[in-house]
Amino acid sequence: MTATLPENNDQKPVGHGRMLRKEDPRFIRGRGRFVDDLQLPGMLHLAILRSPFAHARILSVDTTAAEAYPKVKAVVTGAMLAEQNLAWMPTLSNDVQAVLATDKVRFQGQEVAFVVAEDRYAARDALELIDVEYEPLDPVIDVRKALDPNAPVIRDDLDGKADNHCFDWETGDEAETDRVFDEADVVVSQDIVYPRVHPAPMETCGCVADYDRIDGKLTLWSTSQAPHAHRTVYALVSGLPEHKIRVVSPDIGGGFGNKVPIYPGYVCSIVASLVTGKPVKWMEDRSENLISTGFARDYVMRGEIAATQDGRILAIRTNVLADHGAFNGTAAPVKYPAGFFGVFTGSYDLEAAYCKMTAVYTNKAPGGVAYACSFRITEAVYLVERIVDCLADALGMDPVELRLRNLIRPEQFPYTTKTGWVYDSGDYEPTLREAMRIAGYDELRREQKQKRENGELMGIGVSFFTEAVGAGPRKDMDILGLGMADGAELRVHPTGKAVVRLSVQSQGQGHETTFAQIVAEEIGIPPADIEVVHGDTDQTPFGLGTYGSRSTPVSGAAVALVTRKVRDKARIIASGMLEVSVADLEWEKGSFHVAGDPEKAVTIQEIAMRAHGAGDLPEGIEGGLEAQICYNPSNLTYPHGAYICVVDIDPGTAQVKVRRFVAVDDCGTRINPMIIEGQVHGGLTDGVGMALMEIIAFDEEGNCLGGSLMDYLIPTALEVPDWETGFTVTPSPHHPIGAKGVGESATVGSPPAIVNAVVDALKPFGIRHADMPLTPSRVWDAMQGRPTPP
Ligand code: PCD
């Protein structure tokens, strides 16, 4: 039957529904409603003065000239905030961060003071009139030297802090892992750096704060991926009662983890509105976004892998040095300070695993946010997929063959890893075989052999990944004490149209479409008749927000279940309408009919009218057709994928060209295949950026060298090939519709495939590893036998 259905098919929305996105008519007409589009009467503008130094004591701040500048309404310093006890705020990972610096500045670009003026220009001009006297201090830039005994102490604001240590963390069984390593035939180790990169969303961060002095209510429109969690934090910091705070996250021009943290600019804007009684807008520019907001990665890793001579992987061991910048500005579940890095055991059936991590402070921007990464999964997948390739090289084995020999087998699911994660479902080999089929793997290897004989540099790289997404079960996951469950509410109006309210909100992923599709699938109301409301704390139930590809695994489940709850009520009402018992009713999408008599039926629309109408309802049934739920997932979902990348390297210029890229993803039940492909295309493009182009580097004084898009290179259509995508479907057993997350899969899975391909191309030079980004100069260095710079 499905074969004859049209593509935009409302009757079978999930999986078959390549439905066009409901939000696109407004986006493609330039009618999106972003924070910077907001114009309120009497609105003032805020600009932030930032530190030129990475580490310096503040001796004095003179604001006299700035205050006298025309149109300026207020100039606020850290000292003034300190008087109100507002100079520091909590981060989403149990650290504190300066809203405005009081004692010292700790990274270049740190917030020092702000100006509020009648327009944006006056505010920016006045910044130049603020006179700050700094006493420069030695900065800590090299993460490897942060714990040297003579290193300057960055966080002397913390009581008794005498070094730059941030946290230690370990997972797995050290003794058992050591034993397996000692007895293994083959041990390979490799130092691997995942450099600091930046999410660099198209829209920078910003907000409009509007405090109404009459009713004591604060409304904050902000670029927030987690409006409810932010509201709670604002309530805790400001002392304003939570019901008097409304956080609205309107259309967002990309988030990618960059909009999870609470930034000083939001708090400054709230203060400015409280002080002036006027709405206040703050919008960063591109450089401010790149130098001061949440960076990602910055892990210095040592990976070790143990195996038998014939290629059975036995254990993985890793030691990580994590650079968190000046403040630990990550958002991470309290029990997981290194996020889900524990999934570094990858997709392989191991005997033992162990990780030891040390995190430190440096004089760099705070973070690191999980850029397109479910809490450090990206680093974990890169580590394991690089080290497995190093092992293949040492054993002289084909990297695909080595993976096939070690993948977790379908009968082993649910699979508990050696670090305690329970993979819900997976069928790995068919996914890898499908990628090989699309790529024509054997043919590619033949082509490569021939090219090598002619001195051409062609490389084939493979990666196989398992992600842990959908945080998370409240028994062991919370952020700042807030459980990671999500609410959902569904109301069916008398005429059978519906509105569903979500606690998550979209930054471009298309939730207005896919969540309508989930409701449609469950209750048979066409997606066009379902309004999706999100991103406004006054309009939606509580939940922790959109990141870590958690919306589908958590909120998607909530929406499916709340719709079933409504359907259960509809069934009782239908039984009254058809005068049969509930047990005698059969559901066929969109209507109930009497078993054995399809003619005796009522549609969901007729039931909705009866639910709201005059006349009797069955005993004990209230009027209306609506329900609410709070969904606590019993586990994460574990999507997987197999990626194959083909590169050509110009031997004269060392430029890498990605010629082909095959991505086969398995995210369980697919809601909207078109949206999934778009998600994968975006993530693969991210991957090319990280693998080949992007890095936030610093000079010895701590000047950020990636502060503009002239220096921080992001890929365009010119740098990427036509993506070749495929899929397999292994539903999640605990998700009501079997869906797993997919939003970050491609960003996670693609960098190792690309780097593996580049290293493979460079085999004739005897190279086993080179660190990202593999720019022409780094590849050239590698070809000359020079190591990657630290
Ligand atoms: N889906 C379907 N099916 C399935 C799954 C999924 O269909 N199975 C779809 C959904 O519904 C949506 C999407 O797809 O729409 C996605 O999803 P997910 O996976 O669930 O995710 P979410 O939560 O929603 O989202 C989030 C993500 C993230 S996280 C990121 S980075 C990125 C992604 O998302 N970001 C972004 N993607 C994107 N896109 C866009 N456009 N924009 C943006 O910003 Mo993080 O953590 O934050 O770092």
CATH number of the domain encompassing residue 216? 3.90.1170.50
Per-residue burial over 72-83, b if 16 or more Cβ lie within 10 Å, else e, is bbbbbbbbbbbe
- Complex-level ipTM: 0.99
Q: How far apart are CA 526 and CA 517, in angstroms?
A: 8
Query: Is the domain of 620 the same as that of 671?
Result: no
What is the reported pLDDT for 292?
98
Residues 707 and 762 in one domain: yes
**Mean pLDDT estimate for the chain:** 96
What's the gap in Å between 423 CA and the centre of ligand 1?
20
How many Å apart are CA 78 and CA 73, to the nearest integer?
17
The whole-number pLDDT of residue 15 equals 61
Question: For residue 684, what are the CA distances in angstroms to 196, 673, 723, 746, 750?
Answer: 18, 16, 8, 5, 6
Domain-located, residue 592: yes
Residue at which a domain ends, from 273, 292, 311: 292
Residue nearest (by alpha carbon) to ligand 1 atom 40: 508
Ligand 1 centroid to Cα of residue 405, in Å, is 32
pLDDT at 304 over 80: yes
Strands laid side by side in the 165-172 sheet:
165-172, 352-360, 313-323, 296-307, 186-197
Residues constituting the chain: 790
- Residue 593 Cα, ligand 1 centroid: separation in angstroms? 37
pLDDT in tens, 197-212: 999 999 999 999 999 9
Instruction: Answer yes or no: is 190 within a domain.
Output: no
pLDDT cut 70: percent of the chain above it: 98
Mutate-to-test residue for ligand 1 from 202, 552, 684, highest number of ligand atoms within 8 A of CB: 552
The domain boundary, picked from 631, 664, 683, lies at: 631
CA 621 to chain centre: 42
CA of 402 to the centre of ligand 1 (A): 31
| Cβ–Cβ under 8 Å, residues 520 and 559 | no
The whole-angstrom separation of Cα 535 and Cα 540 is: 8
Task: Go through 704-713 and write b for each residue having 16 or more CB atoms within 10 A of its CB, e for each that does not.
Answer: bebbeeeebb
788 in a structural domain: no
Neighbours of 214 (CB within 10 A): 6
Domain-embedded: residue 199: no
Same domain for 675 and 657, yes or no, is yes
Return the residue whose CA atom lies nearest to atom 17 of ligand 1: 743
Ordered alpha helix ranges (H), 128-263? 174-183, 227-238
The set of protein residues with a Cβ atom below 6 angstroms from ligand 1 is 201, 225, 254-257, 370-373, 507-511, 514, 546-552, 667-672, 675-676, 679, 682, 739-744
Q: What is the mean pLDDT of residues 159-186?
A: 98
Residue 567 binned pLDDT confidence (cut-offs 50, 70, 90): very high
| 492 and 423 share one domain | no
pLDDT of residue 4: 35
Question: Are both 499 and 606 inside the same structural domain?
Answer: yes
Rounded distance from Cα 744 to ligand 1 centre (Å) = 7
What does the pLDDT read at residue 1? 29
Average pLDDT over residues 447-460: 98
Rounded mean pLDDT, 479-486: 94
Which CATH number characterizes residue 443's domain?
A: 3.30.365.10
pLDDT tens column, 419-437: 999 999 999 999 999 999 9
Q: Which of 197, 549, 676, 684 best tests ligand 1's pocket when mutated (most atoms within 8 Å of CB)?
A: 549
Q: Are residues 209 and 319 in the same domain?
A: no
The larger pLDDT score, comparing residue 697 to residue 7, is at: 697
pLDDT at 2 over 50: no
Residue linked to tokens 């720019």: 775
pLDDT (mean) for 593-602: 97
Distance CA 715, CA 136 (A): 36
Residue nearest to atom 16 of ligand 1 (CA): 743
Per-residue pLDDT band at 9 (split at 50, 70, 90): very low
Phi-psi label, residue 481: left if phi above 0, alpha if psi -120 to 50, beta otherwise: left
Residue with tokens 């499908």: 434
627-633 average pLDDT score: 98
pTM of the prediction?
A: 0.97
* pLDDT above 60 (res 6): no
User: What is the structure's pLDDT at 368?
Assistant: 87
Residues 380 and 418 in one domain: yes
- Same domain as 561, residue 591: yes
Asked if 666 and 761 sit in the same domain, the reply is yes
Q: What is the number of structural domains in the chain?
A: 3
Q: Which domain holds residue 51?
A: 35-137+204-252+259-292
Indicate the burial class of 389 (C-beta count within 10 angstroms; 0-12, 13-18, 19 or more): buried
Ligand 1 site-directed mutation target among 293, 514, 679, 714, most atoms within 8 Å of CB: 679
List the residue whose alpha carbon is closest to atom 36 of ligand 1. Answer: 256
Res 466 pLDDT > 50: yes
Whether the pLDDT of residue 7 is over 70: the answer is: no
Mean pLDDT of 651-673: 98
Q: Which of 546, 164, 477, 99 is nearest to 324 (CA)?
A: 164
pLDDT for res 787: 80
Q: Which residue has the tokens 């919370």?
A: 478
pLDDT tops 60 at residue 446: yes
Ligand 1, atom 11, lies closest to the CA of: 514
SS3 54: coil
CA distance 295 to 301: 18
pLDDT at 694: 98
| Residue 156 resides in a domain | no
Atom nearest to 741 CA in ligand 1: 19
CB 651 within 8 A of CB 457: yes
Inside any domain, residue 67: yes
For residue 549, report the distance from its CA to the centre of ligand 1, in Å: 5
Q: To which H or E segment does residue 79 belong?
A: helix 78-83
Residues 274 and 318 in one domain: no
Does 186 reside within a domain? no
pLDDT of residue 3: 34
Does the residue 17 lie in any domain?
no
pLDDT tens sequence across 489-509: 999 999 999 999 999 999 999
Q: In the chain, what percentage of residues exceed pLDDT 90?
A: 95
What residues form DSSP beta bridges with 113? 49, 77
Task: Check whether 540 has a pLDDT greater than 90.
Answer: yes
Q: Residue 243, class by beta-carbon neighbours within 10 Å (0-12 exposed, 13-18 middle, 19+ buried)?
A: exposed
Q: What number of other Cβ atoms are within 10 A of residue 598's Cβ?
A: 11
| 331 lies in the same domain as 219 | no
Kindly give the number of the ligand 1 atom that is closest to the alpha carbon of 199: 48
Q: How far is the CA of 409 from the centre of ligand 1 (A)?
A: 28
Separation of 684 CA from ligand 1 center, angstroms?
14
- Given a cut of 60, whether residue 621 has pLDDT beyond it is yes
Rounded to the nearest whole angstrom, what is the distance from the C-alpha of residue 372 to the centroid of ligand 1? 9
> pLDDT tens across 706-723, in order?
999 999 999 999 999 999
Average pLDDT over residues 167-191: 98
The average pLDDT across 85-100 equals 95
Rounded average pLDDT over 577-584 = 97
Task: Please name the helix (run of DSSP H) or strand (run of DSSP E) that holds residue 748, with its range, or none.
Answer: helix 745-761
Together in a domain, 654 and 743: yes
What integer pLDDT is reported at residue 17 of this predicted model? 66
Closest residue to atom 20 of ligand 1, CA basis: 552
